[in-house]
Amino acid sequence: MPAIILRTSVKCTDEQKNSLAKGLSKICADNIGKPESYVMSVVQDAATICFGGNLQPAAMLDVKSIGSLNANVNATLSKAICEFLATSINIEPNNIYINFTDVARENWGWNSGTFA
């Protein structure tokens, strides 16, 4: 049930998008402590992102989970995600925003129902 959604201004090849999706999925599972079989990762490239008044390589991510997110986990995830994006698609960590959301079980749908 964790989900990680990446929007980046970088135009990626299909191979890069696949690598990003798989890498972010693993980072999410490893750091949140839930099986990767429950993680969904989404990569949206070539977005127009103005950060600090400038158009430059940048990224916005949403990380959502039912439980397991807290100050320590979020800090660890932020570091891992920023390092991954810096090495994968050359986005500087100071051009990355990450939004962490802990979602109530009844507000997450899957397989014709919810996790409540």
Catalytic residue from among 2, 35, 57, 93: 2
Residue environment code for 24-55, b if the CB has 16+ CB neighbours within 10 A, otherwise e? bbebbbebbebeeebbebbbebeeebebeeee
pLDDT digits (tens, 9 = 90+) for 36-94: 999 999 999 999 999 999 999 999 999 999 989 999 999 999 999 999 999 999 999 99
Q: What is the pLDDT of residue 1?
A: 85
Active site residue 35: no
Confidence class of residue 100 from pLDDT cuts 50, 70 and 90? Answer: very high
| Domain residue spans of the chain | 3-114
Q: Which CATH superfamily is domain 3-114 in?
A: Macrophage Migration Inhibitory Factor (3.30.429.10)
